[in-house]
Amino acid sequence: MLIILAFIILFHLASAILLFVATIRNSWWVVTPAGRDAIYTDLWYSCNSTCYPVENAFTKDAAYLQAVQATMILSVILCCVSFFVFILQLFRLTQGERFIFTAIIQLLASLCVMIAASIYTAQKQSFHVASLRDGSYSSSYILAWISFPMTLMSGLMYLVLRKRK
């Protein structure tokens, strides 16, 4: 049982780290203009040799981008909260009870990641100015999609998990 518990904790921490990296790192979108350095864009900044805020990020036209920002931040917060709730429930629950509250919070984190990545996928052309539209998805975007099934599986593991001796 101790090995299963250690695996679940490591799996949860791995998904939380992926969420942090996907939210913070500046590589959701990459454009490589001919003869120039690559331009990486994340949810807040566009960077080549220097970083500058995403154009029109605070306007009504960028409501999709703001939704992606909010749901990614919310997913990180929910993932961290579910880990702390799991640790609390690990010591507070009586034997035989399930980690339902932890599972609900983790499944909400998974839902937030899916919503953010889906919005970014559907509206990627409206996020970027014309010079950045001919690019491709980058590593943080891929990490966001990888963290979605990881947080989903983690939430489902908490639903199945019972507190045993």
Q: What domains does the chain contain, in order, with CATH numbers?
A: 2-160 (1.20.140.150)
The pLDDT of residue 66: 85
- 21 vs 35: CA distance, rounded Å: 29
Give the range among 24-33, 78-87, 137-146 with minimum mean pLDDT. 24-33
Residues 6+ apart with CB under 8 A from 84: none
Query: What value does the mean pLDDT take over residues 88-94?
Result: 86
Q: Who has greater pLDDT, 64 or 36?
A: 64
Task: Note the pLDDT tens digit of each residue in 49-63.
Answer: 777 777 666 666 678
Residue 51 and residue 45 in contact, taking contact as beta carbons nearer than 8 Å: yes
Query: What value does the mean pLDDT take over residues 73-101?
Result: 90
Percent of the chain at pLDDT > 90 equals 42
Per-residue confidence band for 99, with pLDDT thresholds at 50, 70 and 90: confident
Per-residue confidence band for 127, with pLDDT thresholds at 50, 70 and 90: low
Per-residue confidence band for 73, with pLDDT thresholds at 50, 70 and 90: very high
Q: Tokens for 106?
A: 């983790």
- 146 vs 148: CA distance, rounded Å: 5
The answer to whether residue 18 scores a pLDDT higher than 70 is yes
